Amino acid sequence: MHELFNVAVGITLVLFIFVLIGRFSSTEKRVKLWLMLSRLAYLTLFVISIINDVSTWQIKLVWTLGQITLVLIAALLVEFIFAHKQETHVDASWLWGLAICLVLTIYATLTLAF
């Protein structure tokens, strides 16, 4: 079961990299590609989080709910960043918000694993 927790941490890092690359892409075609890959990453992260949470639901209820909430917030931030990227430039504070959210997600994932 710890393998899924490791996969969740890896996907979280990959998601942030996808958003960074998409944020600094210059053509709209590439922005849409990175948006699609980011969506795939956060949907995979959400599914893995639910699978992990089923096994830890009884033991660590607060961390389980917190992790799911953080993944949903990260998904909303990703959508917000890419929506504003396609219209105008995104303020760097949104990237910092996403980074903080993803670090907290990793922390919650590791706390649930051990």
Tokens representing residue 60 in the block: 């660590």
pLDDT tens-digit map of 73-111: 899 989 888 888 777 766 778 888 888 888 888 888 777
Domain count, the chain: 1
Domain housing 62:
2-113
Q: Where are the alpha helices (DSSP H) in 1-114?
A: 2-23, 28-56, 61-87, 92-113
Structure-token pair, residue 70:
């953080």
Q: What's the confidence (pLDDT) of residue 34?
A: 92
Report how far residue 73's alpha carbon sits from residue 94's, in angstroms, rounded to the nearest whole number: 12
pLDDT at 37: 93
Instruction: Check whether 60 has a pLDDT greater than 80.
Output: no
In this predicted structure, what is the pLDDT of residue 68? 84
pLDDT digits (tens, 9 = 90+) for 2-47: 677 788 888 888 989 999 898 888 888 888 899 999 999 999 988 8
> What is the per-residue pLDDT for 97?
87
CA distance 28 to 111: 38
List the structure tokens of 68.
């799911």
Exposed / middle / buried, residue 80 (Cβ in 10 Å: 0-12, 13-18, 19+): middle
pTM for this one?
0.81
